[in-house]
C-alpha cells in the first residue's frame, strides 16, 4: 500500500484540487492500493485561528466565517452542517466569554481537516471513485497536551490496525491529518504541520511500502529556492541526512515525521502536486552521500548576552541562567560560551526575548549590583544559517565569503553531534548570507555582478568585450560574469539576473531614471553579492559615488582619472575606506591605457625597489602630433588638423594641447609611489598660444594657422639630430622628500634615443630604478584608443576576480 499525503496548498480550489483528484484517480485506475491523508484546505487552519482570536476580542466574525464556508464548499452540495454548526457555536461562545483555551482551539482547528477529508471523499465519489471519509480521532490516541499532543503509540497502532482491518476493499480512505483524541475522546492536535506526522504514522502502522508527500514544492533543495534562485533539488537523501535537515528547520521534514518511517525503513518521496510526473526527492534507507547537503535558515530569534567580569571561574552561573529561563518556560536554542567564562550568549525565540531578559535581570539582580554582571543585553531579529554537513576544517571558505560580502556573524556554533555549523547573523542579512554560502559551496561557477557606469566609446566597447568573453570565462575559470546594470549619467537598465545583449541593445527603450541610492537599494533588495562597480565615465562628479559604493560592498575599477587626481585628502580617504571594507580599486588604464604600467610600478615599489625617475610620452595624441611634425615638412596646423580628423583628439583639441591630461597622469604615478603631490604642483607647459586659449571651439578651430609660425621657430631652434617630444617627467630626491618634481614640457631629444624613436600614436614610459641603474625599464605601445582601454579595464576586472 502507498500512503498519499496532500498539503493545504495542494488542496486549494481550482488547479490544486483538480491535480489532487487526478493523482488519486490514476492510482486507483492502476489498481494501486492507497490511503490518503489530507491537511486542511488552503489557509483554513490560519483562518480558523484568526477567527477564534478575533472572536475572543468580542468581535463578530460573521463576514469571514461566511467567506470561509463558501470557500470550503466551493459550490458543491456536500453536507458540512455538523462542522459549521460546531464552529458557529465556538465563535459565539468565545466572543461571549472573551477567552478560549488550547482545548477549544484544537477543536476549532480540527474542523479544517474534517472539512477537507469530507470534501475530497465527496468529490471522488461524485466522480465514481469509491472513497470514504475517515476521522483519525477514531484511532490516534494522545495525551492531553492540547496544541501539540503526544501520541500514545502502542494504543494508536492497535486501534489503527483494527480500524483498517475491516475497511472495505477497493474503497479509498480519506483520512484527516493533524488531529487525534485523548483517552477521554476529546479532540487534540499534533502541532502545526502535523499532517505530515499523521501520514508517517499511518505508513508505519499499516506497513506501507512508500509514503508520497504531495506539496507545492518540487522537493528538498540545497537551500530555500525562494531565497536562493540557484538552489538545486536534492534527488536522494538518507534518513540520517534528512533527520539532520529536519533539525535545522526544513519544515516538511519535521523530526517527528522521519522517525516512524525510519523505524520501518519506509521510503518517503516529496513530490509536487502541480508537477506530479517529476521525481521529487526520495528519502530512503541507504548510504549517506556525505559532505554538505543543504543550507537551512531559521529566523525570528533573539540573541541574549550575559556579560560580566565577575562570572570568571564562578560555579553555577550557567545553571542559574537556564533555571531562570526554564522557570519562565523559555526554550533556548544555540548556546555559546567563551572559555574565559566572561560571557555567555544564546538564542531564544524573538517573542520570548524581553521575558528572558527580565527573568535573567531578576535572577542576577545582586550580581549586577555588585558589578559581577555588567549587563543582560538583547539583540532582536537575528537569524541562523545552518550548513548541514559542514566540516569545521573547511569552514574558512564560506566564512571568508561572508566577510567579503559584509556579513558579520554574531556568533558561530558547530554542533557537537554531527557535522553542522550554524552562523548567527542579523535577520536582514539572511538572504544575502544564504546566497553567498550557497554560491561558495554548491555553485560550480562563481557569480560576479558588474555594474557599469558610463556608456561612451570605452563603456560600450567594454560591454561588447564582456558579452563576447563571458562564455569562455565561464568555461575556463568557472566565473559567471553578469552585468547587473548599465548606466549613463541619468538613466540605467537594471536586471539582477544579468542584462542580456538584447536588453543592452534596447537601452534607449529599457532605461529608466535612477539615483545612486536607488541603485544601491536595488542591489540590497536582491541580495546581490560579489559586486564590482566600473567607472568608464569621464565625469568629474561621479567620484562622489566611490565611497558609498565601497561602503556597500563594491570593489572598484576605473578608467576615470578624477578620483586619483583631485586633492590628496580624498585620495587618502578613499584608500582608507577601501582598507576598512576590504575592497579593491584598480585603474590600470588611468595611465597608458591598457599598457601594464601602474601594475609594474606598484610591484616594484611594494617590493622595495627604489624608483628614481619616471619619464615618458604619456599622451598618444600628442605623441602622434610631434612624431609626425618632427618627421615632416608640413606646417603644424596641417598635422593638427589631420589628428583632429582622425579622431585622435578630444572634441575640443585644446583639452589635449593644454597638457593637463598628461599632468594628471604624472600625478597618478607620483601618488602610486606614496608621494603626496597635488595637481597644482605639476609644472605644465601649455602648448596653446596664449591668445587662443579662450573662446569657442569653432573659433579656435578656424585659427589653427596661428600655431604655425610659433612651432616652426621651436623646430628651427632645436639642435641638429634631435626631434620634438612632449614629455612628462617625475624626478627629485624621491626617497628623502614627501613630494616629487613633476614636469610636463616640450623638449628636443636625440633622434636615436628611446623617446626619439617612438612612432605613430604610441606611448612610452621609462622607469629608472636603483637596481636597473642607467638602463630604465621601458614600457611602450598603444597608449590610447577605446579598444585597448576597454581591454585594460577588463584586465582590471579579471585581476580583482582572481583575488577573490
Q: Nearest approach, Cβ of 597 to Mg ion (angstroms)?
A: 4
422: CB partners within 8 A, 6+ apart: 248, 334, 384, 385, 386, 387, 412, 413, 414, 415
Binding site for Mg ion (CB under 5 A): 588, 592, 595, 597
Q: Which is nearer to Mg ion, 267 or 594 (CB)?
A: 594
Nearest to 406 by CA among 551, 586, 578: 551
Partner from Mg ion, ligand ASP, none contacting 178, C-beta within 5 to 8 A by type: ligand ASP
657: CB partners within 8 A, 6+ apart: 622, 686, 687, 688
Partner from Mg ion, ligand ASP, none contacting 280, C-beta within 5 to 8 A by type: none
Residue number, nearest CB to Mg ion: 592
**Do residues 25 and 34 lie in contact, with contact meaning Cβ atoms separated by under 8 Å?**
no
Geometric angle at alpha carbon 607, from 605 and 609, rounded to 5°: 55
Partner from Mg ion, ligand ASP, none contacting 384, C-beta within 5 to 8 A by type: none
Q: Nearest approach, Cβ of 330 to ligand ASP (angstroms)?
A: 23
| Edge-first strand listing for the sheet containing 236-238 | 131-134, 172-176, 34-38, 2-6, 210-215, 268-272, 281-284, 236-238
Q: Which is nearer to Mg ion, 40 or 667 (CB)?
A: 667
Q: Which is nearer to ligand ASP, 11 or 798 (CB)?
A: 11
| Edge-first strand listing for the sheet containing 491-494 | 512-513, 491-494, 479-487, 446-453, 531-535, 554-558, 585-586
Nearest to 200 by CA among 255, 238, 241: 255
Q: Nearest approach, Cβ of 589 to Mg ion (angstroms)?
A: 5
Q: Nearest approach, Cβ of 51 to ligand ASP (angstroms)?
A: 14
Q: Which is nearer to ligand ASP, 45 or 482 (CB)?
A: 45
Partner from ligand ASP, Mg ion, none contacting 616, C-beta within 5 to 8 A by type: none
Q: Which is nearer to ligand ASP, 8 or 776 (CB)?
A: 8
Q: Which is nearer to ligand ASP, 83 or 361 (CB)?
A: 83
Partner from Mg ion, ligand ASP, none contacting 592, C-beta within 5 to 8 A by type: Mg ion
Return the C-alpha cell found at 355: 521575558
Which residue in the list 665, 717, 720, 745 is annotated as catalytic? 665
Q: Nearest approach, Cβ of 136 to ligand ASP (angstroms)?
A: 12
Q: Which is nearer to ligand ASP, 196 or 545 (CB)?
A: 196
> SS3 letters for 287-346?
CCCCCCCEEEEEEEEEEEEEECHHHCCCCCHHHHHHHHHHHCCCCEEEEEECCCCCEEEE
Distance CA 321, CA 342 (A): 14
Q: Which is nearer to ligand ASP, 5 or 561 (CB)?
A: 5
> SS3 letters for 231-246?
CCECCEEEHHHHHHHH
Q: Is the C-alpha dihedral spanning 54, 60, 63, 65 positive or negative?
A: positive
Partner from Mg ion, ligand ASP, none contacting 595, C-beta within 5 to 8 A by type: Mg ion
Distance CA 170, CA 167 (A): 9
Q: Is the C-alpha dihedral spanning 40, 41, 45, 51 positive or negative?
A: negative
Return the C-alpha cell found at 530: 560579489
Q: Which is nearer to ligand ASP, 46 or 186 (CB)?
A: 46
Q: Nearest approach, Cβ of 272 to ligand ASP (angstroms)?
A: 16
Return the C-alpha cell found at 155: 494504543
**Do residues 71 and 16 lie in contact, with contact meaning Cβ atoms separated by under 8 Å?**
no
Partner from ligand ASP, Mg ion, none contacting 555, C-beta within 5 to 8 A by type: none
Nearest to 556 by CA among 579, 535, 570, 577: 535
Alpha-helix residue ranges (DSSP H) falling in 607-720? 620-630, 636-645, 654-657, 660-672, 697-702, 708-717
Q: Nearest approach, Cβ of 587 to Mg ion (angstroms)?
A: 8
Bridge partners (DSSP) of residue 777 are: 767
Q: Nearest approach, Cβ of 178 to ligand ASP (angstroms)?
A: 4
Partner from Mg ion, ligand ASP, none contacting 193, C-beta within 5 to 8 A by type: ligand ASP
Q: Nearest approach, Cβ of 69 to ligand ASP (angstroms)?
A: 17
Distance CA 492, CA 504 (A): 10
Q: Nearest approach, Cβ of 43 to ligand ASP (angstroms)?
A: 8
Partner from Mg ion, ligand ASP, none contacting 308, C-beta within 5 to 8 A by type: none
Return the C-alpha cell found at 640: 593638427
Nearest to 199 by CA among 140, 147, 122: 140
**Do residues 245 and 40 lie in contact, with contact meaning Cβ atoms separated by under 8 Å?**
no
3-state percent helix, strand, coil for the chain, nearest multiple of 5: 45, 20, 35
Partner from ligand ASP, Mg ion, none contacting 194, C-beta within 5 to 8 A by type: ligand ASP
Return the C-alpha cell found at 286: 541507504
3-state secondary structure of 440: helix
Partner from ligand ASP, Mg ion, none contacting 597, C-beta within 5 to 8 A by type: Mg ion
Q: Which is nearer to Mg ion, 411 or 595 (CB)?
A: 595
Q: Nearest approach, Cβ of 64 to ligand ASP (angstroms)?
A: 17
**Is residue 642 among the annotated active site residues?**
no
653: CB partners within 8 A, 6+ apart: 640, 643, 644, 700, 701
Distance CA 154, CA 679 (A): 88
Q: Which is nearer to Mg ion, 651 or 802 (CB)?
A: 802
Q: Nearest approach, Cβ of 386 to ligand ASP (angstroms)?
A: 23
Q: Which is nearer to ligand ASP, 255 or 335 (CB)?
A: 255
**DSSP states along 386-432:** EEET--GGGTHHHHHHHHHTT---SEEEE-SSSSEEEEEEEGGGHHH
Binding site for ligand ASP (CB under 6 A): 8, 39-40, 45, 112, 177-178, 192-196
Return the C-alpha cell found at 287: 548510504
Active site residues: 665
Amino acid at each position: 500500500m502507498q500512503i498519499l499525503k496532500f498539503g493545504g496548498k495542494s488542496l486549494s480550489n481550482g488547479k490544486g484540487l483538480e491535480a489532487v483528484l487526478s493523482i488519486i484517480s490514476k492510482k486507483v485506475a492502476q489498481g494501486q492500493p492507497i490511503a490518503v491523508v489530507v491537511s486542511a484546505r488552503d489557509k483554513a487552519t490560519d483562518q480558523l485561528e484568526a477567527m477564534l482570536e478575533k472572536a475572543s476580542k468580542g468581535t463578530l466574525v460573521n463576514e469571514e466565517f461566511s467567506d470561509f464556508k463558501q470557500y470550503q464548499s466551493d459550490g458543491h452540495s456536500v453536507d458540512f452542517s455538523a462542522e459549521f454548526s460546531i464552529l458557529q457555536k465556538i465563535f459565539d461562545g468565545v466572543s461571549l466569554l472573551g477567552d478560549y483555551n488550547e482545548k477549544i482551539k484544537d477543536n476549532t482547528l480540527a474542523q479544517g481537516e474534517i472539512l477537507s477529508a469530507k470534501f475530497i471523499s465527496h468529490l471522488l465519489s461524485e466522480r465514481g471513485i469509491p472513497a470514504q471519509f475517515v476521522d483519525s480521532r477514531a484511532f490516534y490516541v494522545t495525551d492531553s497536551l492540547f496544541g501539540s499532543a503526544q501520541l500514545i503509540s502502542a494504543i494508536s497502532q492497535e486501534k489503527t490496525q483494527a480500524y483498517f482491518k475491516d475497511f472495505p476493499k477497493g474503497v479509498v480512505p480519506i483520512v484527516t491529518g493533524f488531529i487525534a483524541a485523548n483517552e477521554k475522546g476529546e479532540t487534540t492536535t499534533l502541532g502545526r504541520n502535523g499532517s505530515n506526522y499523521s501520514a508517517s504514522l499511518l505508513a508505519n502502522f499499516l506497513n506501507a511500502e512508500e509514503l508520497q508527500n504531495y506539496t507545492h514544492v518540487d522537493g528538498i533543495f540545497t537551500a530555500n529556492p525562494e531565497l536562493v534562485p540557484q538552489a538545486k533539488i536534492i534527488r536522494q537523501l538518507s534518513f540520517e541526512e534528512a533527520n539532520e535537515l529536519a533539525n535545522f528547520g526544513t519544515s516538511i521534514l519535521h523530526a517527528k515525521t522521519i522517525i516512524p518511517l525510519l523505524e520501518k525503513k519506509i521510503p518517503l518521496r516529496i513530490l509536487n502536486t502541480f508537477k506530479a510526473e517529476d521525481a521529487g526527492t526520495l528519502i530512503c534507507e541507504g548510504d549517506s552521500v556525505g559532505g554538505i547537503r543543504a543550507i537551512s535558515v531559521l529566523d525570528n530569534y533573539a540573541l541574549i548576552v550575559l556579560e560580566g567580569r565577575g562570572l570568571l571561574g564562578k560555579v553555577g552561573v550557567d545553571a542559574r541562567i537556564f533555571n531562570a529561563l526554564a522557570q519562565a518556560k523559555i526554550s533556548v536554542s544555540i548556546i555559546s560560551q567563551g572559555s574565559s567564562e566572561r560571557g555567555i550568549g544564546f538564542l531564544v525565540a524573538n517573542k520570548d526575548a524581553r521575558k528572558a531578559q527580565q527573568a535573567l535581570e531578576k535572577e542576577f539582580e545582586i550580581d549586577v549590583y555588585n558589578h559581577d554582571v555588567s549587563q543582560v543585553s538583547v539583540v532582536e531579529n537575528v537569524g541562523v544559517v545552518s550548513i548541514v554537513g559542514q566540516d569545521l576544517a573547511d569552514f574558512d571558505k564560506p566564512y571568508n565569503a561572508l566577510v567579503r560580502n559584509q556579513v558579520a556573524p554574531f556568533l558561530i556554533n558547530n554542533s557537537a553531534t554531527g557535522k553542522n555549523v550554524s552562523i548567527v547573523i542579523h535577520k536582514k542579512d539572511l538572504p544575502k548570507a544564504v546566497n553567498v554560502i550557497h554560491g561558495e559551496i554548491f555553485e560550480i561557477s562563481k557569480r560576479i555582478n558588474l555594474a557599469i557606469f558610463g556608456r561612451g566609446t570605452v563603456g560600450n566597447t567594454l560591454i561588447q568585450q564582456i558579452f563576447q568573453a563571458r562564455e569562455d570565462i565561464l568555461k575556463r575559470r568557472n566565473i559567471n560574469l553578469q552585468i547587473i546594470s548599465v548606466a549613463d549619467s541619468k538613466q540605467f537598465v537594471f536586471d539582477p539576473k544579468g542584462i542580456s545583449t538584447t536588453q543592452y541593445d534596447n537601452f534607449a527603450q529599457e532605461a529608466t531614471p535612477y539615483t545612486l541610492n536607488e541603485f544601491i537599494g536595488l542591489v540590497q533588495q536582491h541580495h546581490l553579492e560579489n559586486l564590482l562597480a566600473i567607472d568608464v565615465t569621464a565625469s568629474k562628479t561621479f567620484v562622489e559615488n566611490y565611497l558609498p559604493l565601497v561602503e556597500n560592498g563594491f570593489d572598484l575599477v576605473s578608467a576615470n582619472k578624477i578620483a586619483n587626481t583631485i586633492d590628496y585628502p580624498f585620495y587618502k580617504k578613499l584608500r582608507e575606506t577601501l582598507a576598512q571594507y576590504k575592497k579593491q580599486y584598480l585603474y590600470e588604464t588611468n595611465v597608458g591605457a591598457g599598457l601594464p604600467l601602474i601594475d609594474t610600478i606598484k610591484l616594484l615599489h611594494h617590493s622595495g625597489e627604489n624608483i628614481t625617475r619616471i619619464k615618458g610620452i604619456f599622451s598618444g595624441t600628442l605623441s602622434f602630433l610631434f612624431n609626425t611634425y618632427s618627421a615632416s615638412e608640413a606646417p603644424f596646423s596641417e598635422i593638427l588638423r589631420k589628428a583632429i580628423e582622425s579622431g585622435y583628439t578630444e572634441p575640443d583639441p585644446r583639452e589635449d594641447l593644454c597638457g593637463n591630461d598628461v599632468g594628471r597622469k604624472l600625478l597618478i604615478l607620483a601618488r602610486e609611489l606614496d608621494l603626496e603631490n597635488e595637481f597644482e604642483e605639476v609644472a605644465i607647459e601649455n602648448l596653446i598660444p596664449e591668445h587662443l586659449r579662450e573662446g569657442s571651439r569653432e573659433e579656435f578651430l578656424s585659427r589653427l594657422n596661428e600655431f604655425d609660425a610659433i612651432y616652426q621657430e621651436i623646430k628651427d631652434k632645436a639642435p641638429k639630430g634631435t626631434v620634438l617630444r612632449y614629455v612628462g617627467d617625475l624626478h627629485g630626491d624621491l626617497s628623502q622628500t614627501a613630494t616629487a618634481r613633476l614636469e610636463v614640457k616640450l623638449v628636443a631629444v636625440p633622434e636615436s634615443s628611446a623617446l626619439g624613436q617612438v612612432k605613430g600614436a604610441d606611448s612610452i614610459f621609462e622607469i629608472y630604478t636603483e637596481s636597473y641603474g642607467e638602463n630604465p625599464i621601458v614600457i611602450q605601445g598603444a597608449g590610447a584608443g577605446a579598444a585597448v582601454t576597454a581591454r585594460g579595464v577588463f584586465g582590471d576586472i579579471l585581476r580583482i576576480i582572481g583575488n577573490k
